[in-house]
Amino acid sequence: MYFNVMEKIEDKTNKTNKTNKNLKYCSPKNINKPTLFNKNTLILLINAWNASKEDKIEYNKSFTISKLTELLNNKIKPICNDKEYWCWPSAIKELSKDYKTKEIIKKIEENDLRPEMPVEWYKNPIEWLSIMI
């Protein structure tokens, strides 16, 4: 009995950690969404992948967000580690030769991902607080 309870607690903790890991990269406006990217964004990323790679991702617009996420993740794993969704836009942008595609992905990065912390803040992680005063 004790082991079953501990397994459940551990399982719940692992799920929470995975969720928190993804939220770390989410734009604050996406915090309450179950995935990092919405369906339209996933389709844009898949189309950008397909435009720049011979190894196309076959999908249907009726696929769920989970299915689209899985398809893209399976193709991009060699470039971005498994399920590192925040890596996808920049990886696909690097593969693309099309200026318009790069601009679309830049907007995805700006709107759906949390901005990178300025390098200066690594030296003094509470520096941003001084801006608020």
The tens-digit pLDDT sequence of the chain (133 residues) is 434 433 443 444 344 344 444 555 555 555 555 567 889 999 999 999 999 999 999 999 999 998 999 999 999 988 988 778 888 998 999 999 989 999 999 998 888 877 777 777 778 777 666 655 5
**Which pLDDT belongs to residue 6?**
37
> In Å, what is the CA distance from 53 to each residue of 24, 47, 116, 132?
29, 10, 28, 45
User: What CA–CA distance (Å, rounded) separates 111 from 116?
Assistant: 13
**Which pLDDT belongs to residue 10?**
42
pTM above 0.95, yes or no: no
Q: Which of 82, 109, 83 is nearest to 94 (CA)?
A: 109
